[in-house]
Amino acid sequence: MTPCENLLSVESLYKAFFGKKKGLLRTRTPAIKAVNGVDLEVKRRETHALVGESGSGKTTLGKTAIRIYAPTGGTIVFDGRDITHLAGQGLKAFRSEAQMMFQDPTSSLNPRNSIFATISLPLKIHGNISSRQLKVKVEELLATVGLPRQFQYRYPHSLSGGQKQRVGLARALVTQPSLIVLDEPTSALDVSVQAKILSLLADLQQEHDLTYLYITHDLAIVRNIATTTSVMYLGRVVEQAETGNLFSNPRHPYTKALLSAIPIISEEENRHKPAEVTLKGNIPSPSNMPVYCGFFSRCQEKMAECQQVDPALVQVENNHWVRCLRFAHRREEK
Amino acid sequence: MNTTNEQSTQYKSGFQRAIYRFSRSPLSIIGLVIILVISVVAIFAPFIAPYPKDAISAVHFGNSFQPPSLAHLFGTDEVGRDVLSRVIFGSRLSLKVGLVVVAISVLVGVPLGLVAAYVGGAWEVVIMRMTDVFLSIPPLVLALAVAAVFKPNLTNSMLAISFTWWPWYVRLAYGETLSIKEEDFVEVCESVGASKFHIMFKEILPNMASTLLVKVTLDIGYAILMGASLGFLGVGAQPPTPAWGTMVSLGRVHLSRAWWLTTFPGLAIFLTVLGSNLFGDGLRDLLDVEMER
Amino acid sequence: MSQHILDIKHLQVWFHTIDGVAQVIQDLELSVEPHKTVGLVGETGCGKSVTAKAILGSLSVPPAEIKRGEVIFWNQDLLSLRVKQRKQLLKQSMSYIPQDPMASLNPVFTIGQQMVDLIKWHKYANIGLGGLLGLRGWTKNKPARKTALQLLDYVSIPAPEKIVGSYPIELSGGMRQRVLIAMALVGDAQFLIADEPTTALDVTIQKGILNLLEERIEEMGIAILYITHNLGVARRLCDKICVMYAGNVVETGPTLELLEDPVHPYTVGLIDSVPKLTKESYVGIEGTLADYLRPPSGCRFHPRCRYAEEICRNTPPSLREIGEHRFVSCHMMENFR
DSSP string computed for B19-50: HHHHHT-HHHHHHHHHHHHHHHHHHTHHHH-S
According to the model, what pLDDT value does residue C125 have? 44
According to the model, what pLDDT value does residue B291 have? 54
* Set of chain C residues whose Cβ sits within 8 Å of the Cβ of B17: 18
Greater pLDDT, A24 or C178: C178
Closest chain C residue to the Cα of A162, Cα to Cα: C288
Report the distance separating Cα A117 and Cα A129, nearest Å: 14
The overall average pLDDT reported for chain C is 87
For chain C, strand residue ranges (E) read: 6-17, 20-32, 37-41, 64-73, 76-77, 94-97, 191-195, 223-228, 240-245, 248-254, 320-323, 326-328
C203-220 and C173-184 helices, crossing angle to 10° = 20
Percentage of residues in chain C having pLDDT higher than 90:
38
Residues of A with CB under 8 A from a CB of C: 53-54, 160-161, 190-196, 198-199, 217-221, 223-225, 247, 257-258, 260-269, 272-273, 278-280, 282-283
Residue of A112, A114, A157, A160 to mutate, testing the B interface (most B Cβ within 10 Å of its Cβ)? A112
Q: Is A279 on the interface with B (CB under 8 A)?
A: no
* Set of chain A residues whose Cβ sits within 8 Å of the Cβ of C272: 195
CB contact under 8 A, C19 and B12: yes
Within 10 angstroms of residue B278's Cβ, the number of other Cβ atoms is 24
Query: Rg for chain A (alpha carbons), in Å?
Result: 21
Confidence of residue A51 (pLDDT cuts 50, 70, 90): very high
For the cut 60, the answer to whether the pLDDT of residue C222 exceeds it is: yes
Confidence of residue A24 (pLDDT cuts 50, 70, 90): low
- Of A113, A121, A200, nearest to B192 by CB-CB distance is A121
Q: Is A48 on the interface with B (CB under 8 A)?
A: no
Report the distance separating Cα B227 and Cα B232, nearest Å: 9
CB contact under 8 A, B193 and A96: yes
Report the distance separating Cα B133 and Cα C166, nearest Å: 41
Report the distance separating Cα A166 and Cα A147, nearest Å: 8
Report the distance separating Cα B270 and Cα C309, nearest Å: 69
According to the model, what pLDDT value does residue A3 have? 53
Query: Rg for chain B (alpha carbons), in Å?
Result: 23
Q: Is C207 on the interface with A (CB under 8 A)?
A: yes
* Set of chain C residues whose Cβ sits within 8 Å of the Cβ of B2: 286-287
C-alpha triplet A256, A261, A263: angle, nearest 5°? 140
Q: Is A109 on the interface with B (CB under 8 A)?
A: yes
Per DSSP, B3 falls in state P
Closest chain A residue to the Cα of B10, Cα to Cα: A158
Per DSSP, A31 falls in state P
Amino acid at B30: I
Report the distance separating Cα A24 and Cα C327, nearest Å: 69
Within 10 angstroms of residue C100's Cβ, the number of other Cβ atoms is 16
Amino acid at B247: M
Instruction: Give tens-digit pLDDT for C62-93.
Output: 889 999 999 999 888 988 888 888 888 888 88
Contacts of A among chains (3+ CB pairs under 8 A): B, C
* Set of chain C residues whose Cβ sits within 8 Å of the Cβ of A279: 204, 207-208
Q: C222 near C192, Cβ under 8 Å?
A: yes
Residue of A56, A104, A191, A229 to mutate, testing the C interface (most C Cβ within 10 Å of its Cβ)? A191
* Set of chain A residues whose Cβ sits within 8 Å of the Cβ of C269: 192
CB contact under 8 A, B192 and A99: yes
The overall average pLDDT reported for chain B is 85
Q: A56 near A233, Cβ under 8 Å?
A: yes
C-alpha triplet C255, C259, C260: angle, nearest 5°? 115
Q: A161 near A105, Cβ under 8 Å?
A: yes
- Of A95, A112, A160, nearest to B207 by CB-CB distance is A112
Confidence of residue B9 (pLDDT cuts 50, 70, 90): very low
Report the distance separating Cα B98 and Cα B107, nearest Å: 14
- Of C229, C256, C272, nearest to A190 by CB-CB distance is C229
Closest-CA residue to B237 (of B118, B131, B165, B143): B143
Residue of C19, C204, C291 to mutate, testing the A interface (most A Cβ within 10 Å of its Cβ)? C204
The CA distances from residue A180 to A4, A45, A46, A215, B120, in Å, are: 17, 11, 11, 11, 30
Instruction: Give tens-digit pLDDT for C308-336.
Output: 889 899 989 988 888 888 999 998 887 76
Beta bridge partners of C94: C191
* Set of chain A residues whose Cβ sits within 8 Å of the Cβ of C206: 261, 263
Rounded to a whole number of angstroms, the distance from the CA of B16 to the nearest CA of chain C is 10
The CA distances from residue A71 to A11, B135, B223, C59, C63, in Å, are: 11, 40, 49, 50, 52
For the cut 70, the answer to whether the pLDDT of residue B5 exceeds it is: no
* Set of chain B residues whose Cβ sits within 8 Å of the Cβ of C293: 9
Number of helices followed by number of strands (H, E) in chain C? 13, 12
Rounded to a whole number of angstroms, the distance from the CA of C19 to the nearest CA of chain B is 6
Within 10 angstroms of residue B121's Cβ, the number of other Cβ atoms is 8
Amino acid at B172: L
For the cut 90, the answer to whether the pLDDT of residue A294 exceeds it is: no
Average pLDDT over residues C42-61: 89
> How buried is A108 (Cβ within 10 angstroms: 0-12 exposed, 13-18 middle, 19+ buried)?
buried
According to the model, what pLDDT value does residue C337 have? 55
According to the model, what pLDDT value does residue A268 have? 80
Q: B177 near B117, Cβ under 8 Å?
A: yes
Confidence of residue B3 (pLDDT cuts 50, 70, 90): very low
For the cut 80, the answer to whether the pLDDT of residue B11 exceeds it is: no
The overall average pLDDT reported for chain A is 87
For the cut 80, the answer to whether the pLDDT of residue B193 exceeds it is: yes
Beta bridge partners of A13: A38
Residue A42: φ, ψ to 5°: -115, 115
Closest chain C residue to the Cα of A56, Cα to Cα: C202
Report the distance separating Cα A143 and Cα A154, nearest Å: 15
For the cut 80, the answer to whether the pLDDT of residue B4 exceeds it is: no
In this structure, what is the dihedral angle of CA atoms B109, B114, B116, B119, given to the nearest 10 degrees?
-150
Confidence of residue C288 (pLDDT cuts 50, 70, 90): confident
- Of C211, C236, C279, nearest to A224 by CB-CB distance is C279
Query: Rg for chain C (alpha carbons), in Å?
Result: 21
pTM here?
0.84
CB contact under 8 A, B11 and A158: yes
- Of C287, C294, C303, nearest to B9 by CB-CB distance is C294
Between strands A211-216 and A179-183, the pairing is parallel
For the cut 90, the answer to whether the pLDDT of residue A167 exceeds it is: yes
- Of B1, B185, B192, nearest to A125 by CB-CB distance is B192
According to the model, what pLDDT value does residue A142 have? 93
Q: B227 near B248, Cβ under 8 Å?
A: no
According to the model, what pLDDT value does residue A237 have? 93
CB contact under 8 A, B3 and A148: yes
Closest chain C residue to the Cα of B13, Cα to Cα: C19
Q: A139 near A149, Cβ under 8 Å?
A: yes
Instruction: Give tens-digit pLDDT for A209-256.
Output: 999 999 998 888 999 999 999 999 999 999 999 999 999 899 999 999
- Among B86-95, B230-239, C137-146, which range has the highest average pLDDT? B86-95
The CA distances from residue C282 to A199, A202, A219, in Å, are: 8, 12, 15
Per DSSP, C331 falls in state T
For the cut 60, the answer to whether the pLDDT of residue B1 exceeds it is: no
Per DSSP, B235 falls in state S
Confidence of residue B104 (pLDDT cuts 50, 70, 90): very high
- The sign of the torsion formed by the CA atoms of A325, A257, C176, C111 equals negative
Rounded to a whole number of angstroms, the distance from the CA of C150 to the nearest CA of chain A is 21
Give the DSSP H/E element, type plus range, for residue A10.
Answer: strand A6-17
CB contact under 8 A, C18 and B2: no
Residue of A121, A123, A198, A213 to mutate, testing the B interface (most B Cβ within 10 Å of its Cβ)? A121
Report the distance separating Cα C46 and Cα A166, nearest Å: 22
Closest-CA residue to C105 (of C187, C198, C167): C167
Confidence of residue A22 (pLDDT cuts 50, 70, 90): low
Closest-CA residue to C27 (of C253, C277, C250, C284): C250
Q: A55 near A234, Cβ under 8 Å?
A: yes
- Among A113-127, B102-116, B149-163, B218-232, which range has the highest average pLDDT? B102-116
* Set of chain B residues whose Cβ sits within 8 Å of the Cβ of A122: 192-193
* Set of chain B residues whose Cβ sits within 8 Å of the Cβ of C291: 7, 9
Residue A10: φ, ψ to 5°: -120, 145
CB contact under 8 A, B206 and A110: yes
Report the distance separating Cα C71 and Cα C36, nearest Å: 18
CB contact under 8 A, B6 and A150: yes
* Residues shown for chain C: 337
According to the model, what pLDDT value does residue C55 have? 92
Confidence of residue A77 (pLDDT cuts 50, 70, 90): very high
According to the model, what pLDDT value does residue B216 have? 93
Least trusted range by pLDDT, from B265-274, C177-186, C276-285? C276-285
- The sign of the torsion formed by the CA atoms of A96, A108, A215, A222 equals negative
According to the model, what pLDDT value does residue B231 have? 87
Report the distance separating Cα A225 and Cα A46, nearest Å: 10
CB contact under 8 A, A107 and B184: yes
Average pLDDT over residues C134-138: 52
According to the model, what pLDDT value does residue B7 have? 42
Closest chain B residue to the Cα of A67, Cα to Cα: B191
- Of A121, A157, A168, nearest to B194 by CB-CB distance is A121
Report the distance separating Cα C186 and Cα C119, nearest Å: 6
CB contact under 8 A, A267 and C277: no
Average pLDDT over residues C206-211: 89
Rounded to a whole number of angstroms, the distance from the CA of B158 to the nearest CA of chain C is 44
* Set of chain C residues whose Cβ sits within 8 Å of the Cβ of B12: 18-19
Rounded to a whole number of angstroms, the distance from the CA of A196 to the nearest CA of chain C is 5
Residue B114: φ, ψ to 5°: -60, -50
CA A63 to chain centroid? 8
* Set of chain A residues whose Cβ sits within 8 Å of the Cβ of C203: 53, 217, 219, 258, 261-263
* Set of chain A residues whose Cβ sits within 8 Å of the Cβ of B203: 110, 112-113
For the cut 50, the answer to whether the pLDDT of residue A84 exceeds it is: yes
